[in-house]
Structure 1
């Protein structure tokens, strides 16, 4: 691949060529350059050839006056390649005998002892003539581009000759692209930086490629960019794809664009930040006007607003987070569609299946709308708009669900309670994982092909009742207090610790993190804090859910990475979340012995007009429920405990890994001095470490974990004697996950 610099190099060598044995070798090759346009090329050739340059003395660049050049040439052996003497600003006339200036006279006779690098008609090569006429180039340059050829020479020198020939004739835009391969980025950087002065070559490139004269300043550049015509359409796409890299462009557009008024168009809003802001304000006013409208009117208007503002979500201002209400209206429109219909079925099972098959998307859209905005004012506004159609739908579908449940001869209970332990099984419990959030988790884990099913919750849907009912404890619990709806196990009030002990007895090892589990057995892992966040944050929970879903996904992946072959995610209850609060149902506290937002145990018989259901753990105990989607507490935005699809249809998310779980066991641990010899079983790919704290890799007392050999042997050396008698933990790792751990004392074989 011959470049322009290669061709120039060969041309200079050819100029100094001679027939050995017939003529004397030239003392040098004189390279006259009357206009100095070859300076960049001469500098590039210094690394290849012995090249002297006429000028002020600068030995580091082999530059000096004529007398110095003459002295160097005179001592150069003629057997070597001739020295190239570059003469910037000097033509042939300047070397003509007595006409030569005093400063260059030492060079006069070199034109006779050496060779001249000349083009056609014995004239010094210009850059343009060299491109056009030199036999190894023959590259045509457009007349209008010839003045710019010198300015772009530095970039052209490294271009392959064949590539340039395919682009010929070289035009000014072509030269600009060759000289400035990232011209769009340079233009955006110039605009973002406030329009600093640029080299003349770059200014010419801006003018040729984009029609922008930097002398006109940033306003002219911003207006031209906003027009997105010709090559600037691609520059705009570059900016729109990564506006964070050019923060000043937004300010330039803001300053140069039209005044922010009431009227706006979608096309203007995509380009001008102030017009997009006006569109957001317009949407804010339109949404505010819907706060007290009937559900049907709200749904119809939301669909119209979605059509009006959808295009703004695809622009640069959406990427910069400046279209929160346009983002919210997309979800509000989805809510409008999904809440307009109903669910098919007449029984609890049929309605539950309809909800799990797609009915949950109304809940998902409501949360998505709330999550789209950041400010408290916008959160209140979006909540007020969605409240009317969402509450109407919640009431309608749950009135049917409650009627079906209350008329059923009996209700099913969670099937997960009967699960049995198996090698490689991890049961993950997430408090308050509502079905629509579990569906989002399933989408997040899409590459793992998760399966999303459902089961019916225990009643009432409060944690002390519902969590023990979904845990695989096999029905070993007893009633502790019917009035307080509390349970016991062997006389101990059931809490998280008691439940973990019971699960361990059933064969499910309770672990606190994926690193603490052994895939040779079954484990129980509690994670996530959705219910706690819901009670504390109310409608603000929606904005926190995406991060919580990602955390749950990471936990599931960590379990699979640790060697578990099946992960089942369950929960105890869902919840209702309604901005502005659920409608209140009056229930005097004096008439109850137990009261929550959505359920209560009354003194004596249920004398209220509200529905009641048998307590799952004792059918002789009647639990009074808040009707429909009401609450016994005023202003409750987030609550649970009642009988609704959102509270009772519990997700069961199953993710399966690959391969068979193998038991990892330390079959032998033996100290010999400071060296610990360990025998490990449980498959390949394991490493072993010795740590002060099992889950903390930084607490290792080794220089690095050691890989287990093919026969299961590994030898660990603890350097120094000061560790003898120190408590430590021997850990086996698969990747970064701890899959087996064993406490020991350094140096002790007891």
Structure 2
């Protein structure tokens, strides 16, 4: 998440580069600014966006020039700046509006070289197609979402203080209504802030100051801090800042409040080694020295590199010791500035070392549930989190460290669990009862949602105010989709297994396959509404039951192997957002289920040998046995027909099928077999009763007829999707069971739009596609 206005602005501009698979990538992003109100930020923004170009007088050192020069840079006729090589240009156009570029022949000739870029590039605009103004960016929910007063005094104060506000932590701006005095406060003379700004870049600061201002500041610093900038210089200031004596501690505290606002100070402090000041003796506080922090980072890296060859117990102890030694550094300023990545990595690594040093034991499968769901799952969670956090430079070291800590624990836990399963067995799907949806509930099938990932999903939903209960259920064996997915549907009484097929899939009693398409057909026959991933999915009534298949974890795991961890958190956020939208659409609750879990260990799980001639099919963690062959590995009963056996490797091993598996499933382990069932609610409690019953057109005037309760509702026409921009002259309230809407732009005749009903709080509760001026779509 962006921490400052400046970071948010850079992210939004870079987000314009996104394009669909079937689309040509944009050649540039055009940033129109009719009033030039963003101009004070351009020098600061260029530090984060070296690809930023500016329309203006020719000044190549400042990445500025006329339209023709900009066009040559975009088309490659001129080479870009070294720092901008390979990056998509962002072209800032101060004093230019989007209408001027769209004016065709009416466009000023000086801008004509840029007209074509409107079609080959992206325009950075609001959702309603307007230019991003400064107040809009601060106040819009599509940007910063701050509570900004709309009066002219506030806008003027914001404009005056923009350069200062740009580096303020956004958390300091949230939770209150921002008015003129809030922004004026940033312009009040502040000698400590000015001192830090001078230290960060003395020449630039003095150039901004008038002689009078510099004289006042110098006098103030001499009086309050016994510091003469002309005589003492910035190196002396760095020494005093780090020591924090004689009033300098309040300077440090000010720096600590917002270190990103003074980007040159860490480098200034690096120019003074603590040893030069006699601070390297025991007991001295070295936390203010970036060089000391960097040395500590090297110690952690060396400690992780030294794990190779150690026993598992010793490796766990070494990592716990590193965590105890370096955890304090996560509270230092350098961690906020991204200069302590190894200290941050030790948080999940330390938890992994703690959990992986505690074996899970039990004599029956049920005895493993409590220790794993209490805290054992944190070993799996912290393993992928650590890999996801690692930078490219340290990725190999972190992967090896995670493997050293995790692999023995995975193998030991799986071996113990397999002995319990061999002794007591696992309940078959029918023994656990069918999974079904209650009226008003969606069965939300999230492919490969392992228990630890479900815990993170539950946590993300709670932040949204969506709460519920998390329980567990045993997956079908083998833990592959073909066997396990039918087992978590309401259809299990209609499914059977005979001879174990090569793909491990049971069939319907009718003889039809249990493919995804056939499962959906059978669910529809039972009264379920099969929902689409991207649709609004409003329930048809209070008794409606839904089925939605979503999630990409399993596919990504097989595809990415070592690189899966970085995709897990974005997938969790996608699932949480989809659940939120279902509840907002009117479903009472969502029951999240999955087919199986998986094992993950970076750089590969152990390997088991199973001769190919003994199997009719062999996957990473299970194999179908050929005929009456005797296999040299354990076997287990197929959940759909216990008389049929399949082969499974011991422990956490994978069969040697020619690949090195970091991600795999299909076998018998807690991670694969113990699946989550998460039932959540917290959205709108009652399904909407209003619906668009009929649409008719007379020219560009649309007549809507609405059925059901419509008190306080309004109707609108949206472009492309229910959440798209309005194309009606204005939204209209529902009056006497209908509404009349006018499309003013005659160029839209024949275009597909979406008629929507809006609740009093602006929520879309019904939608229907239609063609402007014609038949319904």
Fold match (TM-score > 0.5): yes
Q: Deviations over 1:27-73 (max 9, x none)?
A: xxxxxxxxxxxxxxxxxxxxxxxxxxxxxxxxxxxxxxxxxxxxxxx
For 2:526, the equivalent position in structure 1 comes to: 506
- 1:645 Cα deviation from its structure 2 partner: 0.5
Q: CA RMSD in A?
A: 3.3
**Following the alignment from structure 1 to structure 2, what is the Cα–Cα distance between the partners of residues 194 and 743?**
61
User: Does the 8 Å contact 1:421/1:507 carry over to 2?
Assistant: no
For 1:400, the equivalent position in structure 2 comes to: 416
For 1:703, the equivalent position in structure 2 comes to: 729
- 1:547 Cα deviation from its structure 2 partner: 2.6
User: Does the 8 Å contact 1:417/1:470 carry over to 2?
Assistant: no
User: Does the 8 Å contact 2:360/2:371 carry over to 1?
Assistant: yes
User: Does the 8 Å contact 1:417/1:471 carry over to 2?
Assistant: no
Q: 1:385 aligns with which of 401, 408, 416?
A: 401
For 1:471, the equivalent position in structure 2 comes to: 489
- 1:631 Cα deviation from its structure 2 partner: 0.6
For 1:665, the equivalent position in structure 2 comes to: 691
**Following the alignment from structure 1 to structure 2, what is the Cα–Cα distance between the partners of residues 736 and 459?**
47
For 1:210, the equivalent position in structure 2 comes to: 225
For 1:534, the equivalent position in structure 2 comes to: 557
Distance 1:491 1:720, change over 3 A: farther
User: Does the 8 Å contact 1:452/1:654 carry over to 2?
Assistant: yes
| Secondary structure, aligned partner of 2:548 | strand
Q: 1:730 aligns with which of 736, 755, 773?
A: 755
User: Does the 8 Å contact 1:417/1:473 carry over to 2?
Assistant: no
**Following the alignment from structure 1 to structure 2, what is the Cα–Cα distance between the partners of residues 622 and 342?**
29
Q: How does 1:360-375 map to 2 (within 5 A)?
A: 360-375=377-392
For 1:153, the equivalent position in structure 2 comes to: none
- 1:598 Cα deviation from its structure 2 partner: 0.4
After TM superposition, the structure 1 stretch with the greater mean CA deviation from structure 2, 280-289 or 362-371, is 362-371
For 2:12, the equivalent position in structure 1 comes to: none
Q: Deviations over 1:666-704 (max 9, x none)?
A: 345455663403223256564433356444614x54234
Q: Deviations over 1:379-423 (max 9, x none)?
A: 222232232332232223222211121222552428997344444
For 1:559, the equivalent position in structure 2 comes to: 582
For 2:466, the equivalent position in structure 1 comes to: 448
Does 2:194 match 1:186? yes
For 1:342, the equivalent position in structure 2 comes to: 359
Does 2:537 match 1:517? yes
**Following the alignment from structure 2 to structure 1, what is the Cα–Cα distance between the partners of residues 229 and 605?**
61
| Secondary structure, aligned partner of 1:486 | coil
| Secondary structure, aligned partner of 1:450 | strand
Q: Deviations over 1:478-519 (max 9, x none)?
A: 559712223455665444333333333333322234642113
Distance 1:702 1:291, change over 3 A: same
| Secondary structure, aligned partner of 2:715 | strand
Distance 1:276 1:427, change over 3 A: same
For 2:603, the equivalent position in structure 1 comes to: 580
User: Does the 8 Å contact 2:482/2:503 carry over to 1?
Assistant: no
Aligned length: 571
| Secondary structure, aligned partner of 2:287 | helix
**Following the alignment from structure 1 to structure 2, what is the Cα–Cα distance between the partners of residues 382 and 727?**
51
Does 2:270 match 1:273? no
Q: TM-score, normalised by structure 2?
A: 0.67
For 1:425, the equivalent position in structure 2 comes to: 441
User: Does the 8 Å contact 2:536/2:585 carry over to 1?
Assistant: no
User: Does the 8 Å contact 1:666/1:681 carry over to 2?
Assistant: no
For 1:294, the equivalent position in structure 2 comes to: 311
User: Does the 8 Å contact 1:432/1:531 carry over to 2?
Assistant: yes
Distance 1:405 1:179, change over 3 A: closer
For 1:244, the equivalent position in structure 2 comes to: 260
For 2:163, the equivalent position in structure 1 comes to: none
Does 2:638 match 1:615? yes
**Following the alignment from structure 1 to structure 2, what is the Cα–Cα distance between the partners of residues 560 and 205?**
59
**Following the alignment from structure 1 to structure 2, what is the Cα–Cα distance between the partners of residues 445 and 632?**
37
For 1:129, the equivalent position in structure 2 comes to: none
- 1:179 Cα deviation from its structure 2 partner: 11
For 1:678, the equivalent position in structure 2 comes to: 705
Does 2:667 match 1:642? yes
- 1:577 Cα deviation from its structure 2 partner: 0.8
- 1:630 Cα deviation from its structure 2 partner: 0.7
For 2:503, the equivalent position in structure 1 comes to: 484
Q: 1:549 aligns with which of 547, 572, 575?
A: 572
User: Does the 8 Å contact 2:722/2:767 carry over to 1?
Assistant: no
Distance 1:429 1:205, change over 3 A: farther
- 1:607 Cα deviation from its structure 2 partner: 1.0
Distance 1:695 1:192, change over 3 A: same
| Secondary structure, aligned partner of 2:227 | coil
- 1:344 Cα deviation from its structure 2 partner: 5.6
Distance 1:544 1:179, change over 3 A: closer
Q: Deviations over 1:286-345 (max 9, x none)?
A: 221122111121222222211211111111111122222212222222122222223364
Distance 1:416 1:427, change over 3 A: farther
For 1:33, the equivalent position in structure 2 comes to: none
List gaps (5 residues or longer) in structure 1. 1-176
- 1:738 Cα deviation from its structure 2 partner: 4.8
After TM superposition, the structure 1 stretch with the greater mean CA deviation from structure 2, 648-657 or 686-695, is 686-695
Distance 1:194 1:478, change over 3 A: farther
Q: Deviations over 1:403-455 (max 9, x none)?
A: 12122255242899734444431222221211111111222222433321111
**Following the alignment from structure 1 to structure 2, what is the Cα–Cα distance between the partners of residues 265 and 688?**
72
**Following the alignment from structure 1 to structure 2, what is the Cα–Cα distance between the partners of residues 434 and 220?**
56
**Following the alignment from structure 1 to structure 2, what is the Cα–Cα distance between the partners of residues 300 and 681?**
66
Distance 1:706 1:475, change over 3 A: farther
User: Does the 8 Å contact 1:413/1:455 carry over to 2?
Assistant: no
Distance 1:229 1:720, change over 3 A: closer
| Secondary structure, aligned partner of 1:593 | strand
Q: Deviations over 1:158-209 (max 9, x none)?
A: xxxxxxxxxxxxxxxxxxx999653332222111123543511111222233
Q: TM-score, normalised by structure 1?
A: 0.69
Give the number of the structure whose alpha-carbon radius of gyration is greater. Answer: 1
**Following the alignment from structure 2 to structure 1, what is the Cα–Cα distance between the partners of residues 478 and 712?**
47
User: Does the 8 Å contact 1:694/1:729 carry over to 2?
Assistant: yes
User: Does the 8 Å contact 1:514/1:737 carry over to 2?
Assistant: no
Q: 1:253 aligns with which of 269, 279, 284?
A: 269
After TM superposition, the structure 1 stretch with the greater mean CA deviation from structure 2, 207-216 or 293-302, is 207-216
Q: Deviations over 1:81-139 (max 9, x none)?
A: xxxxxxxxxxxxxxxxxxxxxxxxxxxxxxxxxxxxxxxxxxxxxxxxxxxxxxxxxxx
| Secondary structure, aligned partner of 1:451 | strand
| Secondary structure, aligned partner of 2:675 | strand
**Following the alignment from structure 1 to structure 2, what is the Cα–Cα distance between the partners of residues 362 and 437?**
12
Q: 2:251 aligns with which of 230, 235, 246?
A: 235
**Following the alignment from structure 2 to structure 1, what is the Cα–Cα distance between the partners of residues 299 and 654?**
35
Distance 1:419 1:631, change over 3 A: closer
- 1:603 Cα deviation from its structure 2 partner: 0.6
**Following the alignment from structure 1 to structure 2, what is the Cα–Cα distance between the partners of residues 269 and 436?**
38
User: Does the 8 Å contact 1:694/1:731 carry over to 2?
Assistant: no
| Secondary structure, aligned partner of 1:518 | coil
**Following the alignment from structure 1 to structure 2, what is the Cα–Cα distance between the partners of residues 499 and 646?**
26
Distance 1:303 1:749, change over 3 A: closer
